[in-house]
Each structure stands twice: as structure tokens, then as C-alpha cells.
Structure 1
Amino acid sequence: MTADRSLLLRGARVVRPGRVSTEPLLVENGLLAPAPAGTPDGLEAVDLTGRWIVPGFVDLHTHGGGGTSYSTTDPDEARTAVALHRAHGTTTTMASLVTGELDDLVRQAAMLSELVEDGELAGVHFEGPFISQHRCGAHNPDLLRDPDPADVRKLVEGARGAARMMTLAPELAGGMESVRLLADNGVIAAVGHTDSDYDAALAAVDAGATVATHLFNAMPGLHHRAPGPIAALLEDERVTVELITDGIHLHPAVVDLVWRSTGSPGRIAYITDAMAAAGMSDGKYMLGPMEVNVEDGVARLVQGGSIAGSTLTLDTALKRAVQVNEIPIEQAVVPLSLVPARLLGLDGDLGTLEDGKRADLVVLDDDLEVVAVMRGGSWVHGAP
């Protein structure tokens, strides 16, 4: 199907905002439109009885997939990663870059900005190099640096308008000033890979930080006398918290705790933090300049053994939300679609299945496996 054709999707269980409906969906000129009664002459109809239809997923934080990475200057490699995640239901992707030399990051971001202009990507996320040596995870510690505002500005400007988010450790020299700089320039400041305490994390939020990069991971744990950044970021209603729900980064009970602590899914964004091995077999891969070994789907640095991103795709995150955490599907889709779309300022067009929004949707079977994916009214994967 092309975006200029009209199509009636009927018989499916459609996950609308806050409810599940069996009303048909009309796709017209790439958008969702009010469905007519019956099937008017000339209108193509597809029977999806027994299927689910959910909003297309939005991934704020992914480094690659399909054997390739966004840490490249080759646009074809980046497109391969986009396509891998799109086949798993992610219709909107923000490309994340790992720590590198500043000039290399500028070159990579400049290439990615062209894919942003083409509509293939929603923006660029710099995860590093302005992060803590003590919480660097799979980032090369030799390339880390304090967030000098001049260096922060260099990356933002090098992305040619495509910079949408930057993760940094606010306790480092220049951290608070850099948070304010990012906020003033319309770039999301995210607290992550940080060794900050409770007060420093709160100060960063007051300075303009609005995201917790993969909450719990790469930051001090909760302690009853030293609550650290987790408590500060979790309790503040201004903060959207990222969660990697692959069953490896977080125990399911911790995911449940976050849901209870926030009181609703409206502040939670499920991310993949996927690296090149997503969608691929076990073996050796690269995460930026770092060599990674993937065994049984778990990615770890060859040197040191730190967890190095994930092999997660967001369809699996949805499946785990419903089947492991027992979250009703109409709530489970919110951290996968609406919350990240809203954070990117795209919720007027994306994130829910409502008339007038772009026809980005995922067709799932009874076991929540992907059957087909539509983006902008065109099938981009599978055939229902």
C-alpha cells in the first residue's frame, strides 16, 4: 500500500488511548481518519480479525541493530539499523551516539542530520562523552571529559539542528551550566552515567534536565541514608525516566516499583539501548570503539565484562510488559509510544491511534508477535 491510497482495517482489537476498541481504522492519505459505516465502494478493506493494532513505537535511545551502528559516517549503515528496528514496530527512532573524539562525533552527527532531514530519524542523542569515569559502563574511559559548555555547544552545532538529547553527568565541572545551555537551545538534557548525589540530581532538574537516562543503570543505587540520583529523578514529576526492560538490565520487580512510584505510565519511556547485535546472532560486535561479546543475547564488553547496551527490540519490550509485568495493553503501549513522542514534541502527530495523526501502527498476533508495520500509511514490513 502507498500513502495516497485509502484502506479500512477492520476486525482487530485496536488499542486507542486508555481503551481497547473493535471499531475499524481508516487510513487515508497517510493519516488516520474517521471510519465510515460499512465499506463504501472503492475502499479497500483488510480483515484483521484476531489481531491487535497498537501505535507505532518510538525509541528515544538506540545505538544500532542489524549488525550496524549509528556511530558511523556511512548513511547506509544507519539505514540498516533503522530498518531492523522498524521491522520490530519502531516507526520513529532517535539515533544515539556513544562516547568518541569530539571531531568524530561531529562527523557522525552531521551524517545523521541528513537522515533526520529525510524523515528517517527523529534526531540525534549524544550519550557521552560528558559522563562520569566512575559510571562509564561500556564507554571508553580514555575519551571521557568534563562538560565544558564550549564543547557541548560544538556537538550541538555540529549536529546541524538534529541534536535532540544529550546525556551528561551534572556533578562534573561545567555540568550545571551545560544543562542550562542545552535547555536554552531546545535540546533535552538527560542525567545519566552519573555519580551524583541526591542534591546534585535535583539541582540538575532545576537547571532544566528532563530525562533520566536508563534509570538505575550506570548510577549509584538507592540507599536508605544516601538516596542518590535515582530517588531524585524518580520523585520529580518534571522528569521522564527511561527503562531498559529486557529482563537483564532491570529485574521485573524494579519495573513494577517504577510504575507504582510514578503512579501512571505518563513519565516512563521504554527504550532499547540496542547496539549492533540487535536482531543478529551471538558473536563479536563493536559499540563505538569498544569490542563487545554477545552470548545468549546478552551484550558485554570483551574487556571488563560490563553490560554493553542490549539486543532488545521494542516489540519484545511490549510483550514483556504485558506478559511478565502483567500491565494491561492499553497502559503498556504508553511508555512505548505516547511518552517518547511527547518528549520529542511529536505527540500531535504520533504516539496514539487518533484521527488526524500519522498512520504509524503495528499489527500483532495473539502472542504479541509482529505481523506487519505501517508508517505514514504505507506498509514498511510484513503483509497483514
Structure 2
Amino acid sequence: MLEGRILTPNGWIHGRLHHGRDIVAIEADHTARGDRWILPGFIDLHVHGAGGVDIMQGGDAAQTVARLHARHGTTTLLATTMTAPPAAIEHALRGAGAAMASPAPDTAHIAGVHLEGPFLNIGRLGAQPPLVKQGTLEQVQAWNALAPIRVLTLAPEVEGHLQLIPELCGMGIRVQAGHSAGSYEDGVAALKAGLAGFTHLFNGMTGLNQYAPGIVGAALAHGEYAEIIPDLHHAKPGAIHAALRAIPRLYAVTDATSATGMPDGAYMLGSQHVMKCAGCVRLATGDSLAGSALTMDQALRNLVGIGLTLADASDRVSRFPADYLGMQDRGRLAPGTRADIVVLDDELQLRSVLLHGRPLDLQQGKHHAPVPA
């Protein structure tokens, strides 16, 4: 049983939440302890790494990543790949698939894979290596057999990709535009073909200009969903507010790298050498942001810090990403849903995390030794 200010689909209730593995009941009671905020566990649909390891390492890397993020309140995530040779992608997918088949009780639930690359535009790679290729249904089907692909990022303007979108939708994959040099018209055509969202909005895509609205313009004018990285480096508060006003179900992701939860220093993002310094992760050359060191609890605090209500911020780190993947059993606190829960104090610092009703030790596995450069 948990006591405090509970965020339900119908608003705040001061009272008690009863649970086993799932939530059993929520009851209003003004005599209940009221110094805690009780929210749905966070859901992160774009996670490359944490704790010094990267999803592309395969093996038990996905479990290590999911363990650290759980201690920052993430209860469900998608293991996210990088552009790489097919054999390297397959290695990462096998690792993610193995982690899903034998989940550890103290890790965030890995709900599948976000395939970010290699179906990108070589002119908008950002921190992705120049190993792009044209996407085919056969390739995606082969990779999907190794681990379920729930989200796939592609550049819709690349030859063959517009025709590929409805085929991927038929597989149940949410297709997103990203790392794209496409025009506004390319974005609109992709949305008509079944495109569902936009990958790290504003980053890795053609920007908004009144004469050439670009992929950003298509997202702002017509998008229902898009992910954004609210570390306040990838998008400044004004840009986030513009997107919030335009895109009804804008949701937060971390785009977290192996540098997450680690001290400043040198790390890997797939095959790319990156540096963490002053809260940013950049390519070792310093010329591009390269993912982030963000965690979802900090994403929530950042959203509240720029003016969102706690309830609105919670929707954007929990309910909207759950809805995006059609997961009605999480992302909200209601009887019958999973007891994936975070408890915060008045400073919005985590006080406890429950995974399917099981409380975590928030310190175990949270801090790691530095990785040598």
C-alpha cells in the first residue's frame, strides 16, 4: 500500500493505492500521508545505453542498461540500435532478444527494439556512422525475428522508403521520420503513408523555415506524436514549448548513451567515440551532440522546470509513450494496470520505484566505475 497524492487518469487523488503485481484499488482518504507524489513508472522509447555499456555490445548489455535506468524510474524501455554493419545490428538484436526472454526482476521491462538506422539519409547522420543502406521489408523481417522491432526510424525521402512505410505498419511497427534531409512535402507524404511519429524532434532533420518548412514543419503542422529530448541541450525551452503547443502527444525520450550515470570522460556510442562533459555527450571531434546522459527522472524535473504541471509532465514521460505503443496496461495508475510506480518527494526526487509491484533498491547498481578512455 502506498499513501500520498496519486495521479489517476481522472486527476489527482489524495489517498491510498493498493497493489500486488498489479494495482488493485485506489481510494481517496484525506487522512492518508500526503507528502509524496505517486506517478506511473516512466516509459522511454529511445535508449542506447547507460552505466558504461551500449546496446550495440550485445550479450548482457541490455540488462545492464535496463537495470540502471530502472533506478531512475524507468519501468519500460526500448533497446535502441545504431547504424552499423548488418552483423553488428544482428549481434545487438540477439542480446536484446535474450534479455527479453529471460528478464531480470530488478530491471526495466524491455518491450522491444527501436531500430534507429541504418535506413537514414547520409546527409543528416548527426552522431550516426556513415553506414546507411536502403531499407527493405525482407531485411526488417529478418531482424524482427531476432527481437521484436516496435519502433523504426527512417528517412522517408530515401528511394523506396515511402513505399516501405505501409509494409512496416502492417508488421505492427511504429515508423518514425528521423535523420532526414526530406522536405515538408516528403514529411506529409510519409504521414499519409502511415508514418506515426518523429525521432528526436528538431535534431537530425530539416528545420522550419517559412520558405522551406522541412520535416520539422510537417511534424508541427500535422504530427500527433513525436519524441523530444528534454535535456535542454538538444532543444531549448522555447523550442519545446512550440512543439508542445503544436503536437498533442509530444513525449519525452532520453536518447541515453553509455555515458549515462557515469562521470565525465570518454565512452562509446555504437562504433563512435564520444565524450561526456558538463552534462552533454558529443562526438570526440566535438562537432555534434551524440545522444545524451539524461535519465527520465531528470527529464520530468526539466519539463516541470520549464513550466509544465506535474500531471502534464507525467503524461509525457509515461502515458503518451505507452499509448503510442498501444500498451494500455501501463503508463497510468488505475485498477488492473501493472504496479509500475514511482514515488517522488516535493523536490521531485525519487524516493521509491516499483516494478510490477516489486520495490527496487535505488542505490544498488546505480553508480559505476569510470570506463577508461
Q: Any gaps of 5 or more consecutive residues in structure 1? A: 1-7, 39-46
Question: Cα distance 1:227–1:37, how it changes in 2: closer, same or farther (>3 A)?
Answer: closer
TM superposition shift of 1:158: 3.6
TM superposition shift of 1:48: 5.2
TM superposition shift of 1:322: 1.0
The CA deviation string for residues 15-34 of structure 1, in whole angstroms up to 9 with x for no partner, is: 22252221211113x11112
TM superposition shift of 1:36: 6.6
Give the AA of the match of 2:94: A
TM superposition shift of 1:207: 1.2
5 Å matches for 1:258-269? 258-262=243-247, 264=248, 267-269=249-251
Aligned mates of 1:299, 1:63 — CA distance in 2: 12
Indicate the residue corresponding to 2:192 in structure 1.
206
Indicate the residue corresponding to 1:135 in structure 2.
124
The CA deviation string for residues 215-254 of structure 1, in whole angstroms up to 9 with x for no partner, is: 11001110001101112122225x4100100010000011
Indicate the residue corresponding to 1:66 in structure 2.
51
Indicate the residue corresponding to 1:301 in structure 2.
283
TM superposition shift of 1:260: 1.4
Indicate the residue corresponding to 1:103 in structure 2.
87
TM superposition shift of 1:80: 1.3
Secondary structure in structure 2 of the residue aligned to 1:206: helix
> Does structure 1 conserve the Cα–Cα contact (< 8 Å) formed by 2:202 and 2:216?
yes
Aligned mates of 2:269, 2:84 — CA distance in 1: 11
Pairing partner for 1:346 from 327, 344, 354: 327
TM-score scaled by length of structure 2: 0.91
Aligned mates of 2:126, 2:266 — CA distance in 1: 18
1:249 is aligned to 2:249: no
TM superposition shift of 1:111: 2.1
The CA deviation string for residues 111-153 of structure 1, in whole angstroms up to 9 with x for no partner, is: 2112223453100111001101111011111x11122343333
> Does structure 2 conserve the Cα–Cα contact (< 8 Å) formed by 1:15 and 1:329?
no
Give the AA of the match of 1:108: A
Give the AA of the match of 2:289: I
5 Å matches for 1:3-152? 8-10=1-3, 12-28=4-20, 30-35=21-26, 49-75=34-60, 77-119=61-103, 120-141=109-130, 143-152=131-140
> Does structure 1 conserve the Cα–Cα contact (< 8 Å) formed by 2:26 and 2:335?
no
The CA deviation string for residues 330-378 of structure 1, in whole angstroms up to 9 with x for no partner, is: 111111101111111212x101111111111101111101111001011
Give the AA of the match of 2:114: H
Question: Cα distance 1:339–1:36, how it changes in 2: closer, same or farther (>3 A)?
Answer: closer
Indicate the residue corresponding to 1:275 in structure 2.
257
TM superposition shift of 1:57: 0.3
Question: Cα distance 1:269–1:37, how it changes in 2: closer, same or farther (>3 A)?
Answer: closer
Secondary structure in structure 1 of the residue aligned to 2:281: strand
Aligned mates of 1:138, 1:17 — CA distance in 2: 38
Aligned mates of 2:2, 2:330 — CA distance in 1: 18
The CA deviation string for residues 262-320 of structure 1, in whole angstroms up to 9 with x for no partner, is: 3x4xx111000000011111000000000001111211111352100000001011111
Aligned mates of 1:36, 1:351 — CA distance in 2: 19
5 Å matches for 1:303-318? 303=285, 305-318=287-300
Secondary structure in structure 1 of the residue aligned to 2:152: strand
> Does structure 2 conserve the Cα–Cα contact (< 8 Å) formed by 1:148 and 1:173?
no
Secondary structure in structure 1 of the residue aligned to 2:38: strand
> Does structure 2 conserve the Cα–Cα contact (< 8 Å) formed by 1:107 and 1:158?
no
1:222 is aligned to 2:208: yes
Aligned mates of 1:100, 1:304 — CA distance in 2: 21
TM-score scaled by length of structure 1: 0.89
Aligned length: 356
The CA deviation string for residues 66-118 of structure 1, in whole angstroms up to 9 with x for no partner, is: 1111112212x221111111000000011000111112212211221122234
> Does structure 1 conserve the Cα–Cα contact (< 8 Å) formed by 2:276 and 2:282?
yes
Aligned mates of 1:188, 1:241 — CA distance in 2: 11
Secondary structure in structure 1 of the residue aligned to 2:294: coil
Question: Cα distance 1:36–1:289, how it changes in 2: closer, same or farther (>3 A)?
Answer: closer
Pairing partner for 1:373 from 345, 353, 360: 353
> Does structure 1 conserve the Cα–Cα contact (< 8 Å) formed by 2:14 and 2:34?
no
Indicate the residue corresponding to 1:334 in structure 2.
315
Give the AA of the match of 1:284: A
Aligned mates of 2:112, 2:19 — CA distance in 1: 26
Question: Cα distance 1:153–1:258, how it changes in 2: closer, same or farther (>3 A)?
Answer: same
Pairing partner for 1:156 from 144, 168, 181: 144
Secondary structure in structure 2 of the residue aligned to 1:121: strand
Aligned mates of 1:91, 1:369 — CA distance in 2: 16
Question: Cα distance 1:67–1:128, how it changes in 2: closer, same or farther (>3 A)?
Answer: same
Q: Any gaps of 5 or more consecutive residues in structure 2? A: 104-108, 364-373
